[in-house]
Amino acid sequence: MKITLAYKPVTAGKDDGPDRNAQKACQAPRFGPILPFSIHILMKDDFMDSNAKIFVAGHTGLVGSALVRALTRRGFTNLIVKTHAELDLCVQAQVEAFFSEHRPEYVLLAAAKVGGIYANKTYPADFARINLLIQTNVLDAAYRNGANKFLFLGSSCMYPRLAAQPMRVADLMTGPLEPTNEWYALAKLAGYKMGQGYRLQHGFPFISAIPANLYGPGDNFNPQDSHVVPALIRRFHEAKRAGQPSVSAWGTGSARREFLYVDDAAEALLFLLENYDDGEIINIGAGPETSIRELTEITARAVGYTGSIEWDASKPDGMPRKLLDNTRMAALGYAATVSLEEGLKQTYEWFLENQGNIRL
């Protein structure tokens, strides 16, 4: 059903237009009036009850922990979470038994094997196998046990390596993937298409979203398999403590990314869970692009490191650019609100306050 809901208007920005080479940056996302656009949304009466059973798969990870925070802030009281020791999502029998016992009404699949360039290059089979198993087991069990809604989290690496910028959903599967993470990307593409298949064949309410590069509290700071932001934070933190005069950074610094604070992403995902009902995946953009060189310098300032940065051009840069076309979310009035500078500052503060609990 297509309807118009009267949300508080927000000021349009340059990313609201058709220019594929421009977008905009930003406490909680806002949702404004729905513009003329082919987006399916739900009636207010269909919104989630605060006592609904909600399974957040991967609740200890970056996105999962942010979803739990957001759901708790919104007053949801019946959250179902399981650690890996309690429930191995790669084991079909365990997943089927869990769903048969708990029968969650809403399933948020934030569990995945993720990592940066080094991890993807070193463990390609693991990235393919583990993600395919998790997606298959959880999606099928959710369908067989009558879940009301299923949210699948995609990744911007699903787009072709040289996709036009900003990247539109129509660009998916139109060219070769980035070689440094193609196994993870292929697994994510398979999960998305499988969910579409369940929706087409069984009418299962599957939706999916591709957020921009995420960072924030709850991230993985292990230097062997972390993404760029936590890797830089840890590297600069340790260099500052040790008094090192310089820090080495991978690549040339020329690659460009957009970075989305994870709590902004969680709010957007919950909005989609309550309002969006379309089989086509939707982008959640953050705003302007930032070069890895700029990101590195901003992170050094956030940590308080004053030494020099030396670039190792023998290491790969990854995809040259990854900017998401945010038109559809902008049509819903969405805008991320935490700036990169503020987000990095908050992430480093969380890193300092949680030394005994973070993944190192």
List the catalytic residues. Answer: 184
In sequence order, the 6+-apart residues with CB closer than 8 A to the CB of 113 are: 126, 127, 130, 131, 134, 184
Q: What span, in angstroms and rounded, lies between the C-alpha atoms of 313 and 292?
A: 13
Instruction: Retrieve residue 92's tokens.
Output: 């079909």
In sequence order, the 6+-apart residues with CB closer than 8 A to the CB of 301 are: none
DSSP state of 220: B
Residue among 283, 290, 310, 263 at smallest CA distance from 68: 263
Instruction: Retrieve residue 15's tokens.
Output: 């990313």
In sequence order, the 6+-apart residues with CB closer than 8 A to the CB of 207 are: 149, 150, 151, 152, 272, 273, 276, 277, 278, 279, 282
Say whether 252 sits in a helix, a strand or coil.
Answer: coil
Q: What is the CA radius of gyration of the chain?
A: 20
